[in-house]
Amino acid sequence: MSLKLPRIIGHRGAAGYAPENTIESIHTAADLGIEWVELDVKLTKDQVPIIFHDETLERTTGTAGLVAQTNYSDIRDLDCGSWYGESFIGAKIPTLEEAIETLIERDLGFNMEIKPCPGREKETAEVALDLLSTIWDEHDKLLISSFQHVSLETALDMATDWHRGIILPKEWPENLEELAEYLQLTAISFNGNEATRGQVERIIDMNKIGIAYTIDDPHKANHLQGWGVDGFCSNMPDVIKEGMFSIH
């Protein structure tokens, strides 16, 4: 089944307008008319999959501590909205289940980034995919992505028929073609602000979907689209959508 990936994906919901990786951010993306969002999944100490990016809690909650060493009961009540703005005071860190329910309610596609804490690459993928398999039906509206090869390998073993995408670090692996074949990848995500035309052409030659992150400048998006980039992950997805030519 082919992947119904739009040109524009909201980064961590719509992180330019609402606190990242929150239910509020998902709703904001949907209200902007965005069809897909990207969200990060981590595990708490007691193995509850939550929507959160950092290894530490401090940046978005003001609370010290590692996600991997904190139980969900202590994470559940943290405020992760007030750092962003007064209108978001009281926003909570959602569970993966709560996020999925919102995505289904708003009819959004889901780029689920498995963002494991160190040493939990397999475990995070297993728990997230177990939950996902009980709730999510639309294979053409789901992309499982990760920087971590082990997480993608786990996704290949557990859910072969779901689409997978690798997220590339600054230094692209020399064996990218072999990795793409081994992991049976549909998509390759890369830093669009640093990529060269040659790198983009490498993805095109592999016949994979190329997704550039994190693109908030329409001129940059148009430039990359001219190179053949398929999709863009953006904090301000509406700005990219309105500022680009030939969006279908």
pLDDT of residue 245: 64
pTM of the model: 0.97
Dihedral sign from CA coordinates of 221, 224, 229, 233: negative
**Residue 7 carries which DSSP code?**
S
**What integer pLDDT is reported at residue 248 of this predicted model?**
43
H helices of the chain, in order, are 23-31, 58-61, 72-75, 96-105, 121-135, 149-158, 176-182, 197-205, 218-227, 237-243
pLDDT at position 247: 44
Residue 82: exposed, middle, or buried by beta-carbon count in 10 A (0-12, 13-18, 19+)? middle
Give the chain's residues under pLDDT 70: 1, 245-248
pLDDT for residue 151: 98
Q: Name the residue ranges covered by the structural domains of the chain.
A: 8-243
pLDDT at position 244 is 81
- Give me the pLDDT at residue 82, please: 97
CATH number, domain 8-243: 3.20.20.190
Q: Which of 163-181 are b and which e, b meaning 16 or more Cβ less than 10 Å from the residue's Cβ? A: bbbbbbeeebeeebeebbe
For 208-245, the DSSP string reads -EEEEES---HHHHHHHHHHT--EEEESSHHHHHHH-S
Read off the pLDDT of residues 84-95 as tens digits, 9 standing for 90 and up. 999 999 999 999
